Structure 1
Amino acid sequence: MSQPTLHDFHRPLGSTGLVVSPLGLGTVKLGRDQGVKYPSGFQIPDDDEARRLLNLSRDLGINLIDTAPAYGRSEERLGPLLRGQRKDWVIVSKVGEEFTHGESSHDFSAAHTRLSVERSLKRLETDFIDMVLVHSDGNDMAILEQQDAYETLATLKREGKIRGFGLSGKTVEGGLKALEVGDCAMVTYNLNEQAEKPVIDYAAAHGKAILVKKALASGHVCLSPGVDPVRASFELVFGHQGVASAIVGTINPLHLAHNVVTVAQILRKP
């Protein structure tokens, strides 16, 4: 029997005009192995392994890729790895968080936001980024109301350097505020954490985009015996019509294929 794919399940990313696969590939593990919250250690894949993972993702119908300056060398590796494939991918990146010498730092100023996007364009070897999200440090409302990052992203969108913008936040208030003028909110939504569901509800009612992070609780989901945690997680996530896509950061080809099979089965149900 052939491997199910997600090609038939692509859906709109809010009102952006972009169409995305219900699973997106998170790429923190392509660029960073320090200070990451995974239950077990891992080795950053070499270029051949990374290329095989990207090719497999594309073959399985995944067209959404999630990266960030805070993901170490992720962006600068993706540029060469995706050469000649720009039209095949919807690329999401971030601004606001940097990761250098094993430490995270944050800068939500206008100047840094612009510098960060220009640098991402160079690293990713592209003329535009499909979606850029503010990488919140948790102070969502302060970032949106007292800093210039969000306004700067709106300007970069008008300039054509990005096609959409939003917030990867940590609070309901921040997510709702971000969607008032922005295109997208990235929220945590899984079997353990559902506090940000009102943001998904708002997005569904207003034609805005929702990307889900930590759909599998970064591998920490624990359930009663006999329940498949991956299936239960995706049933929750895709049980909400407001969700466009869930970002899963696996570098294991078998896990990736299993995730695709599970999501295809869930979405195929009448």
Structure 2
Amino acid sequence: MLTLRNLAGTGLRVSPIGLGTVKLGRDKGVKYPSRFTIPDDQQAARLLDLSRDLGINLLDTAPAYGNSETRLGPLLQHQRHHWLICSKVGEEFDPQTGESHFNFTPEHVRFSIERSLQRLRTDVIDILLVHSDGNDLDVINHYGILEQLEQLKAEGKIRAGGMSTKTIEGGIETLKRSDIAMVTYNLDYQDELPVIDYALAAQKGIFIKKALASGHIAEASEADPVHASFDLVLGHQGVSSAIIGTINPDHLRTNVMAAVESLKAGPSND
């Protein structure tokens, strides 16, 4: 069973593993090692129940995850109080083409957050991140998008904000101007470690994406790559939570148990 930890600087308490929900809403244009079938509502509800039983309280979704938000809205009715919802702005997915496009204008940010609130059937989104197109600093500086998130926070529409970044410079600038950066960090890719180090020193939040390399971690050379992954990711005191996207209950249990073992052996940021 996972124990909640402080999401630095926000007043929120978050599970060290979050459930990524892209597979609840989208099966086109994704980079997983094997094909999958989007679960029906009954299967999705069971997955959420299992996640809650395992101590997970963080759900990661986005408009770019197909109809993930739309499905989560009714599924979370009567249990909304249990969950922290992390959604995003900036990336839009076209289910017809399987392609994405990006829009960071103030008008679109406002439209996107209102749409997400409606889809998720909630009056506040706990964490809102900008879905970067890779040009992190341009998005931050040209559009003033992190200041837009601060305005949404002042209005009570979100509780914390930040960006899912792709560069060291963008990650650090995000942490200077907002609450949370989501970065890639795993056994095969550790380039963005300076962002995590900065977050620890500045007491800001860090979410990890692709902690298991989008399912490709089984190809790693370690004897037990899942345990080794969590030893690395959760062993850093700057990490608030690692987002793991799975629709397989057995995989979810295995991942959480591996995370629990790593947390027992490593440092805590409670």
Q: TM-score, normalised by structure 2?
A: 0.96
SS, match of residue 130 in structure 1: strand
Residues 174-201 of structure 1: per-residue CA shift (max 9 Å, x gap): 0000010100000000001101001000
State the shift of 1:220 in Å. 1.2
**Structure 2 matches for 1:164-203, cutoff 5 A?**
164-203=160-199
State the shift of 1:14 in Å. 1.3
| 1:77 aligned onto 2:71 | yes
Mind listing any 5+ residue stretches in structure 1 that lack a counterpart?
A: none
CA distance in 2, matches of 1:115, 1:195: 34
- Give the corresponding residue for 2:89: 95
Residues 123-148 of structure 1: per-residue CA shift (max 9 Å, x gap): 00001001000000100010000013
- Give the corresponding residue for 1:57: 51
| 1:224 aligned onto 2:221 | yes
State the shift of 1:269 in Å. 2.3
| 1:138 aligned onto 2:134 | yes
Q: Give the aligned residue type for 2:105.
A: S
State the shift of 1:257 in Å. 0.3
Identity of aligned residues (%): 63
State the shift of 1:153 in Å. 1.0
Mind listing any 5+ residue stretches in structure 2 that lack a counterpart?
A: none
CA distance in 2, matches of 1:217, 1:223: 10
State the shift of 1:223 in Å. 2.6
- Give the corresponding residue for 2:145: 149
Runs of 4 or more above 3 Å deviation: none
Q: Give the aligned residue type for 2:233.
A: V
Q: Which residue, out of 245, 251, 254, partners 1:249? A: 245
Q: Is the 8 A contact 2:179 2:204 kept in 1?
A: yes
CA distance in 2, matches of 1:187, 1:255: 23
CA distance in 2, matches of 1:23, 1:31: 20
- Give the corresponding residue for 2:102: 106
State the shift of 1:152 in Å. 1.3
CA distance in 1, matches of 2:200, 2:15: 17
State the shift of 1:239 in Å. 1.4
SS, match of residue 248 in structure 1: strand
State the shift of 1:118 in Å. 0.6
Q: Is the 8 A contact 2:58 2:85 kept in 1?
A: yes
SS, match of residue 242 in structure 1: coil
CA distance in 2, matches of 1:115, 1:224: 45
| 1:265 aligned onto 2:237 | no
Aligned residues: 263
CA distance in 2, matches of 1:58, 1:73: 21
State the shift of 1:266 in Å. 1.2
Q: Is the 8 A contact 2:235 2:262 kept in 1?
A: no
Alignment root-mean-square deviation, CA: 0.9
Q: Give the aligned residue type for 1:113.
A: V
